[in-house]
Structure 1
Amino acid sequence: MLQIEEALKIIRNQQVQVKTETRELSDCLGFSLFNEISAPFDMPAFDNSAMDGYALCGISKEYKIIGEIAAGDESQFRLSEGEAVRIFTGAKVPENTSAVMMQEKTKVSGNKLFIEQPLKHGQSIRKKGEELKKGEIVFQKGYTITPAGIGMIGSLGIDKVEVFKKPIIHLITTGNELVKPGTLKKGGQIFESNSYALDSACEDFGFSCKEKKQIQDDFKAIKNGIKDSLNTADILILSGGISVGDYDFVKQALEENGVQEHFYKVFQKPGKPLYFGRKENKFVFALPGNPASSLSCFYIYVLPLLYKLSGSVKKGLDRLNLPIAKDYDNKSDRPSFLKANIQNGFVEILDGQGSSMIKSMALGNALVFMDATISVKKGEGVDCYLIS
């Protein structure tokens, strides 16, 4: 049975084949850049006004207004001492502009402008190249594009971007006891929820599950379902059927489909019966069937490989070391990922830590890693994985 860090190292060391595609800028959210992006020009490209007001030449209290410049106009003015022009936010300031004064701090009488507040040279002028110089690197290769990133790239005049393709994900849940929500549930059956949780977890981190299948505990059906998914998926996630019960057929079905096992079982709680394997350039995770175990294993083990397959510089969940809100005894004989909630700079371990209990995870926003049989006092730092 592997230790947690050994299992993570195996996943981190996987050699992967990534693919690229060129996408419209508006369709790049959440994708990672294949090439770095450099500024093709200074930004701003010219000195411009930071507000609606007046562009002034010289530092004085009174000016002569000689014209007006709107945003987008090509300035034809060259100011002389004591002259001013009406100007609007983003408009190119004329030559010899000393400062811009906001309109609320001025008075106008005819063509005379009076300044009601002391001026500072250069105030309210966005200088050419103030944000970026031509040739300056804006984003590195592997940057995951955010809404602000799309805005930044668009402001550089770029409408198409080469990005890493995201992996094709398939999801298979197994179990005779499982029925879909919204259908009639008989005695001994439970509503299937793992596919919904895992699919949503993929979406939450910018990925999408292309196909979801629910298969009964039938060896042939599971074997064929795995075979079909391995034909098209880059990464296959299974939930359930990976333990040692009489109806747990997943491990054998993977073996007969030529999947090479890299590890099976990790010394942790929850999620001990975790499987990771590979067939050529296809990767397989078989997660435990208990809801909290399944999600915890996704966050800690699956997500880092999804990032790697998508060319991202991200390595997994963001981590913080935060003080614990109250004393806590981890009585488990295994290192544990505990459902927790971070609030006001402290982290609280929640009730309901059973591997089948998902309510506490739904109410929390973090997993706290804690060694086996350890006691932590209020205020001591603990490692937190941010799940939302």
Structure 2
Amino acid sequence: MVTIEEALRIIEDQNISLKSESKPLEGALGFALSTNTVSPFDVPEFDNSAMDGYALCGLYQEYQLVGEVAAGDSKDIKLQDGEAVRIFTGAKVPNNATAVMMQEKTSVTDSTLFLDEMPKVGQNIRKRGGQLTEGQTVFEKGHILNPPSLALMGSLGLSQLEVFSRPRVNIITTGNELVKPGEPKTEGQIYESNSYAISGALEQFGFQHHQKTQIRDDFEATKAGIKTALESCDVLIISGGISVGDYDFVKQSLDDNGVNELFYKVFQKPGKPLYFGRKDNQFVFALPGNPASSLTCFYVYVLPLLQKLSGYGSYGLASYQFPIKHAYENRFGRPSFLKATVVDGKVEILDGQGSSMIQSMAKGNALAFVDDGEVLKEGDLVRCKLIS
């Protein structure tokens, strides 16, 4: 058995070979860049107006209007001293323009423009190269593409981006008692739910499962199912069958399929019977079958590895400290990840901490970490991983 810190360190220390691919701009959200990106030209490429108004030549309060420039116009207007043109946001400013005055501070009579105040040199003009210059690094390798990133890449005319590939993930659930939702069940059976939690959690963070399989508690079927799943994935997530009961065949099946155990069992609650192994460049997590345990182990251990395999520079859920709303004592005998909710900057430990209880987890938005035997008073700070 290992500690939480040891388990996380083992995952962090895995040597991996990252894969890369070319991704269309519209499908690159959440991917990490596999190369540095440099600007192919100045941004903006030309001086342009920051607002609707008038481009002015010289510093006066009265000008002669001589034309108009709309956004997208390519015409090159040369102003004489004391002249102005009507101009719109984003339009190219005449080369010898001194300033742009917003239209709200102007009035026009016939072809004469009057200003309510004196203009200032460079006012409301977005200068060429003011954001980026040609050849300047835009984003470094490893940058995770968010919506503003995609907007900037699009403004640079880049339709294809070089990114790190995301790992292919397969899911196996085990258990004779499991029935798919929507199908009839008999007494003693339950509806299978863990695969939906795991696939949903994958999707929550931008990952997808490639294949999902349900296997009965049978040694040969488990061994064959794992063998097949390993043929088409980078990461295999197994739910159930990893404890020490008479019908728990996952660990022996992994051994027989050549998976090297890296750790088995973690001193924690929930999720003590957690397995992590490796076969060449493939990784396997065998999660406990109880729903809350399974999902907790995904958030704490599986997610960081998936992000590492995707070229992310930092891994795991965002962690913060919040004051607790009430007194609490951890009497579980192990360090615990507790279902919790954070509201208005304070954390509340929820009822229903049993490993099989998923409703409280669905109502919460955080996992609060409380050490073995730790006694908390109202207002004490608690480490929390935000899950939504």
Instruction: Using structure 1 for the length normalisation, give the TM-score.
Output: 0.97
Could you tell me how far 1:382 is from its partner in structure 2? 1.6
Could you tell me how far 1:79 is from its partner in structure 2? 2.3
Hey, what does 2:272 align to over in structure 1?
272
SS in 2 for 1:296: helix
Deviates more, 1:8-17 or 1:97-106: 97-106
Matches within 5 A, 1:299-314: 299-314=299-314
Contact 1:341/1:350, CA 8 A, preserved across alignment: yes
Matches within 5 A, 1:24-35: 24-35=24-35
| 2:354 is the counterpart of 1:350 | no
Hey, what does 2:247 align to over in structure 1?
247
SS in 2 for 1:114: strand
**What are the superposed Cα offsets for residues 282-328 of structure 1, whole Å, 9 maximum, x if unpaired?**
10000000111001100110011101111121311111122222222
Task: Tell me how far apart the structure 1 counterparts of residues 313 and 179 of structure 2 sit (CA, whole Å).
Answer: 39
Letter in 2 for 1:387: I
SS in 1 for 2:51: coil
Could you tell me how far 1:199 is from its partner in structure 2? 0.2
Letter in 2 for 1:34: S
Hey, what does 1:162 align to over in structure 2?
162
Could you tell me how far 1:75 is from its partner in structure 2? 4.3
Could you tell me how far 1:183 is from its partner in structure 2? 1.3
Could you tell me how far 1:120 is from its partner in structure 2? 3.4
Task: Tell me how far apart the structure 2 counterparts of residues 227 and 237 of structure 1 sit (CA, whole Å).
Answer: 13
| 2:71 is the counterpart of 1:74 | no
Matches within 5 A, 1:53-92: 53-92=53-92
SS in 1 for 2:338: strand
Task: Tell me how far apart the structure 1 counterparts of residues 83 and 239 of structure 2 sit (CA, whole Å).
Answer: 74
Hey, what does 1:23 align to over in structure 2?
23
Hey, what does 1:3 align to over in structure 2?
3
SS in 1 for 2:73: coil
Hey, what does 1:141 align to over in structure 2?
141
Letter in 2 for 1:291: P
Hey, what does 1:258 align to over in structure 2?
258
Task: Tell me how far apart the structure 1 counterparts of residues 317 and 219 of structure 2 sit (CA, whole Å).
Answer: 35
Letter in 1 for 2:385: Y
Deviates more, 1:297-306 or 1:99-108: 99-108
Deviates more, 1:259-268 or 1:303-312: 303-312
Task: Tell me how far apart the structure 2 counterparts of residues 173 and 338 of structure 1 sit (CA, whole Å).
Answer: 24
Contact 1:57/1:79, CA 8 A, preserved across alignment: yes
SS in 2 for 1:129: coil
SS in 1 for 2:351: coil
**What are the superposed Cα offsets for residues 249-280 of structure 1, whole Å, 9 maximum, x if unpaired?**
11111111111101100000000000000111
Could you tell me how far 1:78 is from its partner in structure 2? 2.3
Could you tell me how far 1:189 is from its partner in structure 2? 1.1
Hey, what does 2:230 align to over in structure 1?
230
Task: Tell me how far apart the structure 1 counterparts of residues 302 and 269 of structure 2 sit (CA, whole Å).
Answer: 16
Could you tell me how far 1:143 is from its partner in structure 2? 1.4
Hey, what does 1:377 align to over in structure 2?
377
Could you tell me how far 1:119 is from its partner in structure 2? 3.2
Hey, what does 2:185 align to over in structure 1?
185
| 2:203 is the counterpart of 1:197 | no
Could you tell me how far 1:371 is from its partner in structure 2? 0.6
Could you tell me how far 1:359 is from its partner in structure 2? 1.2
Deviates more, 1:191-200 or 1:372-381: 372-381
| 2:290 is the counterpart of 1:293 | no
Letter in 2 for 1:69: V
Could you tell me how far 1:185 is from its partner in structure 2? 2.2
**What are the superposed Cα offsets for residues 21-58 of structure 1, whole Å, 9 maximum, x if unpaired?**
11222221222111011222221122111111111123
**What are the superposed Cα offsets for residues 189-222 of structure 1, whole Å, 9 maximum, x if unpaired?**
1111100000010011010000000111111111
SS in 2 for 1:303: helix
Hey, what does 1:341 align to over in structure 2?
341
Could you tell me how far 1:118 is from its partner in structure 2? 4.9
**What are the superposed Cα offsets for residues 107-135 of structure 1, whole Å, 9 maximum, x if unpaired?**
11111111234533322221222222222
Long gaps (5+) in structure 2: none
Letter in 2 for 1:318: A
Task: Tell me how far apart the structure 1 counterparts of residues 29 and 254 of structure 2 sit (CA, whole Å).
Answer: 34
Letter in 1 for 2:311: G
Contact 1:75/1:93, CA 8 A, preserved across alignment: no
Long gaps (5+) in structure 1: none
